[in-house]
Structure 1
Amino acid sequence: MKFFKTLSLAALLSVSISTQASVVKVFDVLLDKSQFEFLMNSRGIMNRGVVGQVRKNVRYSLEDMARSGSATMKDIKAMKKSIKDPADLKKYNRMVKNLSKDTKAITRAELVDSINDLVFLSQRYGLKKKAILACAPCVNKELAEAGFSFTLNELKGDSSKRIFKEMSRKAKDPLTAAKFINQEIRKQKLGVAAKVKAHEEEALIYMLLIPKHGTADQKRLYNAMLKVSKTKGGKIDLFDPENGHKFFNIFSDNLSSPEINLWEELLDDTAKLMDDENMSTMDAFYTVLQRRADGVADEAEKADLMAKLDFIKREGCFGSK
C-alpha cells in the first residue's frame, strides 16, 4: 500500500512540475476566449469592447488563412512562400517570432504588433471570405488608442458574398490585386490609377466591384463618389490630386441602408458645392459637414459633431493629402 501511495505522490509531483514548466505560446491562446482575455488584460488592455473586437479580428484573420476552419501555425508558416514584398516579409517574420513566444514573456508592444501583423497579412495573402480591412483610427477610435492599427469588418448580404468571391479569385495577393485595380480603373474610365496604401486596397477593390455586384443603394453611392471625382475639365479621375479624396474607404465599414443613404446625400451636397463655389472635393466636403454641425441646436450634439469632424480631418480618413 505504501508503495502505491509513494507512486501516486511521485506521479502527482511529476504532473505538477510538468505543468509549471510547460510553455503556453501566444498562438495557442488566440482562439481560447478566457485565455485570450486574460492575456490582453494582463498586458493592460482592459476595455471589454476593444478586447472583443480584437478577438473577432483574430478569428476572421485565422479563418482567412485556412481553407476551412481556423489556421494552424503550420498554415501560417506555409504563407511565407507567397510573400515577396520585403516590407510584408519583415512583418511576417516579426509575427511568427512573437506568436511563438511564451505568453509569460511577451510584452504588450509585442502582443499588439503580432495581432496587427496577423490582421494585415491575412488580408494581403488570405482567402478574403467575408471581412474587409479598415484603418482602426477611422472606424474605431478606442481600438486605435489601445495601439491597434487595423480592424476587420464583416460585410454581410448576398452582394458582399459575390464581391468577396470575386476578390478571392482576382485579387488573391498584392500582385494580382494591383493588376485588378489597374484593369478596373481603365475599364470603368475612372482616370489613371494611383498607388494606394496597402491597407486601403481591399476597400478600393470592393468599390470597383459594386457596378457588377452591388446593391441599388451601393450603386447610388458609387455614382455619388464619381460626382465628387471630377477634374476641373469635367472628366472623372478618382485619384485627381487636386481633389485628393479617398471616399472608397467608406466601403471598409459595414453600413446599413440609412447610413449609405446619408453618405450619398453628403456627397451629393459636396458635388453641388464644388460646382457652385469652385471648391476642391475635400474643402467642399468639410464645409458641408461644418454647415451641418452649425445647424444643430443642441450644444452637446453640436460639440460631438465638431469633435468627429476634427478627428476625421486629423486622421485623414477620407483625404489623400
Structure 2
Amino acid sequence: MQFGQDREESRMKNTRLLKGFVILATAFCLSLSANAAGGKLIEMLVNDTGVLELLGKRGIKGAPAKKVSEYVSQSILSISYSNKKPAASELRKIITSIVGSDVDNVYKKQLMELLDTPAEKVTKDDLVTAVNNLIYLSNRFGKRGSTVLACAECVSEALSKHGFKFTLEVLNDKSSKRVLTQVLPREPRQLTTFISKEMSKGGLGDYSRTAARTNLVSPEEERALGLFLGLRKYGSKKQKELADAIVKVSKDSSGDTTLLSRENPHKLWKLFSEDMSDEVMDSWTKMLKEVGEKSDGSDGSAKKAFYEYLERVAGDDPVLREQLSALKRKNCFFK
C-alpha cells in the first residue's frame, strides 16, 4: 500500500516538473521570438543568423546574402577591441569612439542613427546603408585582419544591384597579409602620411597635392593604395613585376611618372585588392607593359591603349566580348 502511494506521489511530482519545464521552455521560445522580432538593428548585426534573417526578409537571399553576412562579420571583428565579436553594447561604444575626417563622420553619423532602429522597422535601404557604412568604417579604422575594401560593382553585380557599394575582401596572400597587418598604419592620418612618403620616395608624384586636386583617391581607397605601395617593396617577385608595370602606365603628357595623373588617370593600383595567382599576375603584367609602351601620357592615352589591347584579345569571342563590355560598364580602373 505504501509502495503504491509513493509511486503515485512520484508520478505527480514528475508531472508537475514536466509541466513546469514545458511552461519555461514555451516562455523561453516566446522570448526568443520576441527578441528576434523586436530587437534593434545593432543586435541583429552582431548575430550571423540575425543578419541573414534581415536580408532574407528584404529580398536579399542566397549567395549575395551569405557574402553580405560575411562582410558584416569581418567588419565587426576588424574594429573590435579583441579577437572575438563584440556584444551590441560594446559595438556601439566602439563606433561612438571613432573620430575621423568630415567624410568619415558622415558615415558614422548615418550608421549611429540606424543602429537603434527596431529591426522590424528597418527598410531595405536602411539595411544596405548600415552595411555600407559599417564596411567603410571598418576599412578606415579596423584594428586587425588582412582586409581591404573593394568596389561592390567590380566584385559582384548581384550585390551592386541591391545597392551595396563596398565589399570587404580578406586577403590570404602571404605578402599582402604582411603589408596589411604589419606595414600599413591603422590610423587614417598615419596611413595618408605613409602613402605620401612612399610616393615621394618612389618618384610617383606628390600625394599631398595630387589627391586633393584630382580627387583620384577617395578615403575608402587609401588602404588599397597603401597596399600597392607596400607590395612594391615587400611583395613577391610577381607582385613587384606587376607593380612596376602599373608604374610604367602612369605617365603624364611630359613623360614623367605620376601615379595619380589628372591627364592620364587610372586606378590600376586597385588590382591588388584581391588575391591573384602568378598566372593571372603574369597576364596583367604582359598587358600593362604593352599599354605603357603605347600610352604617351596624353589625355586618356592609357585608357585607350588598355581597351585596344583587350579588344584585340577578345576578338570575336562572345564571352570575352561580354566580359569586356562589363569591364567598361563598371569603370573599375578608368573613369
TM-score (norm 1): 0.86
Question: Which residue of 1 is the match for residue 44 of structure 2?
Answer: 29
1:76 CA displacement = 4.0
Alpha carbons 1:139, 1:253 under 8 Å: kept: no
Deviations 1:89-121, CA, capped at 9 Å, x for gaps: 222122133233222221111111111111110
Question: Which residue of 1 is the match for residue 330 of structure 2?
Answer: 315
**Percent of pairs with identical residues:** 29
Runs of 5+ consecutive residues of structure 2 not aligned to the other structure: 1-11, 212-216
1:99 aligns with 2:112: no
Residue in structure 2 matching 1:55, options 42, 50, 69:
69
Distance (whole Å) between structure 1 residues aligned to residue 178 and residue 24 of structure 2: 57
Q: Secondary structure of the equivalent of 2:255? A: coil
Alpha carbons 1:167, 1:205 under 8 Å: kept: no
Deviations 1:147-199, CA, capped at 9 Å, x for gaps: 1111111111321221012345x2x2322222111111101110222221122
Q: Given residue 313 of structure 1, which amino acid in structure 2 is its aligned partner?
A: K
Question: Which residue of 2 is the match for residue 202 of structure 1?
Answer: 223
Question: Which residue of 1 is the match for residue 200 of structure 2?
Answer: 186
| Segment of structure 1 superposing worse, 184-193 or 152-161 | 152-161
1:203 CA displacement = 1.1
Counting only pairs closer than 5 Å after superposition, residues 143-182 of structure 1 correspond to structure 2 as: 143-168=159-184, 170=185, 172-182=186-196
Distance 1:315 1:37, change over 3 A: same
Deviations 1:7-51, CA, capped at 9 Å, x for gaps: 9598678657655654323333335444332221110112x2211
Alpha carbons 1:138, 1:315 under 8 Å: kept: yes
1:233 CA displacement = 3.0
Question: Which residue of 1 is the match for residue 124 of structure 2?
Answer: 108
Q: Given residue 41 of structure 1, which amino acid in structure 2 is its aligned partner?
A: G
1:228 aligns with 2:249: yes
Alpha carbons 2:176, 2:231 under 8 Å: kept: no
Q: Secondary structure of the equivalent of 1:82? A: coil
Q: Secondary structure of the equivalent of 1:104? A: helix
Q: Paired residues, what number? A: 310
Deviations 1:276-316, CA, capped at 9 Å, x for gaps: x997111110111111112x5xxxxx233223323332332
Q: Secondary structure of the equivalent of 1:209? A: helix
Runs of 5+ consecutive residues of structure 1 not aligned to the other structure: 297-301
Distance 1:167 1:113, change over 3 A: farther
Distance 1:34 1:20, change over 3 A: closer
Distance 1:278 1:44, change over 3 A: closer
Distance 1:97 1:238, change over 3 A: same
Distance 1:38 1:187, change over 3 A: same
Alpha carbons 1:135, 1:151 under 8 Å: kept: yes
Alpha carbons 1:153, 1:254 under 8 Å: kept: no
Distance (whole Å) between structure 1 residues aligned to residue 259 and residue 47 of structure 2: 43
| Bigger Rg over Cα | 2
Distance 1:108 1:233, change over 3 A: same
1:257 CA displacement = 1.6
Distance (whole Å) between structure 1 residues aligned to residue 260 and residue 198 of structure 2: 14
Q: Secondary structure of the equivalent of 1:233? A: coil
Distance (whole Å) between structure 2 residues aligned to residue 303 and residue 221 of structure 1: 28
1:62 CA displacement = 1.1
Question: Which residue of 2 is the match for residue 82 of structure 1?
Answer: 98
Residue in structure 2 matching 1:245, options 266, 269, 272:
266
1:287 aligns with 2:308: yes
TM-score (norm 2): 0.83
Distance (whole Å) between structure 1 residues aligned to residue 157 and residue 29 of structure 2: 44
| Segment of structure 1 superposing worse, 229-238 or 121-130 | 229-238
Deviations 1:209-249, CA, capped at 9 Å, x for gaps: 01221011100001101111123333211112221111111
Distance 1:279 1:198, change over 3 A: closer
Alpha carbons 2:148, 2:171 under 8 Å: kept: yes
